[in-house]
């Protein structure tokens, strides 16, 4: 009975982890990169139109591009680390060891990835963000 509970726990975490990977890699990161491209296009246009004042005028956009780049890379790295932790723990010799490994090594990535994605959610344009934003859930449009 205890072993069944541990197996159910492991499977639940495994499913949540796979869903998180899918969302991050197939929805969140592509939306961020699309927004980043829009910002970079805007920066390029500013440089064409205002070559002398460009650095001052594009400073905010460049900082946003930098933050998006850093957070996307962090999200991607954490996602791959979580996948590796999951694979390591799938190879353990008992359900008890697997469940403990998932708890200790996989679950902590949930909050780390979530933190980065939450920060990206605040930056990326609402029109490009693929999911309902928290403020939209709290204060329905």
Name the pTM for this structure: 0.89
If you average pLDDT over every residue of the chain, what do you get? Answer: 94
Confidence of residue 132 (pLDDT cuts 50, 70, 90): confident
Contact 48, 57 (CB under 8 A): no
Res 59: pLDDT: 92
Q: Is residue 138 part of a domain?
A: no
d(CA 70, CA 78): 12
> Once rounded to an integer, what is the mean pLDDT over residues 81-102?
95
Residues of the domain holding 39: 2-131
- Please report whether residue 127 resides in a domain: yes
User: Is residue 36 in some structural domain?
Assistant: yes
Question: pLDDT of 53-75, one tens digit each?
Answer: 888 889 999 999 999 999 999 99
Percent of the chain residues topping a pLDDT of 70: 99
Q: Determine the number of helices (DSSP H) and then strands (DSSP E) in the chain.
A: 7, 0
| Residue 51 DSSP SS3 | coil
Q: Average pLDDT of 23-33? A: 98
Residue 136 placed within a domain: no
- What's the CATH code of the domain at 88? 1.20.120.1560
Number of domains in the chain: 1
pLDDT of 141 over the 70 cut: no
Residue 34 banded pLDDT, cuts 50, 70, 90: very high
């Amino acid at each position: 009975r205890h072993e069944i509970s541990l197996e159910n726990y492991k499977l639940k975490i495994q499913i949540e982890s796979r869903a998180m990977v899918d969302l991050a890699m197939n929805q969140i990161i592509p939306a961020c990169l699309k927004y980043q491209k829009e910002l970079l296009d805007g920066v390029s246009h500013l440089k064409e139109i205002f070559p002398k004042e460009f650095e001052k005028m594009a400073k905010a956009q460049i900082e946003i591009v930098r933050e998006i780049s850093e957070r996307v890379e962090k999200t991607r790295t954490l996602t791959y680390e979580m996948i590796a932790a999951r694979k390591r723990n799938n190879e353990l010799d008992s359900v008890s060891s697997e469940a403990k490994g998932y708890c200790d090594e996989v679950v902590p990535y949930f909050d780390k990835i979530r933190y980065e994605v939450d920060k990206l959610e605040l930056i990326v344009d609402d029109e490009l963000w693929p999911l309902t934003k928290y403020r939209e859930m709290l204060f329905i449009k």
